[in-house]
Amino acid sequence: MRFHVMTLFPEMILQGLNTSIIGKAIQKKAIEVEAINIRDYTTEKHGQVDDYPYGGGAGMVMQAEPIYRAWESIVTRLGKSPKVIYMTPQGSVFHQEMAKEFAQEEDLIILCGHYEGVDERVLDKIVTHHVSIGDYVLTGGELPAMVMIDCISRMVKGVLSNEKSAESESFQEGLLEYPQYTRPEEFMGMRVPEVLLSGHHANIEQWRREQALKRTQERRPDLLPDIE
């Protein structure tokens, strides 16, 4: 799977994804992340990529031309026109099912906005999906793009070990994860739940299921109607 990220801050994307599991996935070539610097596609002197909004108002708006030219260079090189996701708080809210669908794609183009927004005309021309990562406002689309790439990548074959991918099924069943413990058996007077030391796999399984349910009831009751 290949991610093509159009951004004014390519180093933020590349640095942000080059550590831990996603960093390893890139090394292993299970995924590929390319950052395309929108500024490289401006035709204006001084490398300008934004301008004042027509109609007035605060802030600057990213111009259509460099974004369009950056997109054109990607699709020409690929010889096909992949889905284009624009990261924006005005989008549909990202969730696990969306990640699963995007993970089926061979290529994804992600557009990161900055300033007060992007000229609507280029969005009309190239964007297929408007996606937000939640109901709060960030300064740019780069962190949301990294969040989405991380989540999609862990659904791609070869990124997680088998053991870990099985683990990921739990959230897809609609429950939060059960609590985990490791050595020592006692920490500040608190003991690891006895059942986990018992070696009785059926009991452990049942305990974990109960804990997952309890935790979901307490923290995310909104998730519960989704399971029977």
Based on CB atoms, which residue is closest to ligand 6GU, 137 or 188? 137
Per CB under 6 A, which of residues 44..103 are in contact with ligand 6GU?
A: 87-89
- Report the relative pairing of strands 129-132 and 83-93 from DSSP bridges: parallel
- The least distance separating ligand 6GU from the CB of residue 181, rounded to whole angstroms, comes to 34
Which SS3 state, helix, strand or coil, does residue 47 take? helix
Regarding 153 and contact with ligand 6GU (CB under 6 A), the answer is no
Regarding 141 and contact with ligand 6GU (CB under 6 A), the answer is yes
Q: Residue 62, by phi and psi: left (phi above 0), alpha (psi -120 to 50) or beta?
A: beta
Residue 159, exposed/middle/buried by CB under 10 A (0-12, 13-18, 19+)?
buried
Regarding 7 and contact with ligand 6GU (CB under 6 A), the answer is no
Based on CB atoms, which residue is closest to ligand 6GU, 122 or 212? 122
Two structure tokens written together for 134: 């939640």
Which SS3 state, helix, strand or coil, does residue 81 take? coil
Q: Which of 7, 132, 153, 216 binds ligand 6GU (CB under 6 A)?
A: 132
Using the 8-state DSSP alphabet, how is residue 176 labeled? Answer: P
* Bridge partners, residue 2, by sequence: 32, 107
- The least distance separating ligand 6GU from the CB of residue 144, rounded to whole angstroms, comes to 3
**Residues constituting the chain:** 228
Choices 34-42, 126-134, 167-175, 202-210 (CB under 6 A): range interacting with ligand 6GU: 126-134
Q: Which of 53, 117, 140, 193 binds ligand 6GU (CB under 6 A)?
A: 140
Query: What is the contact surface with ligand 6GU in residues (CB under 6 A)?
Result: 87-89, 132-134, 136-138, 140-141, 144
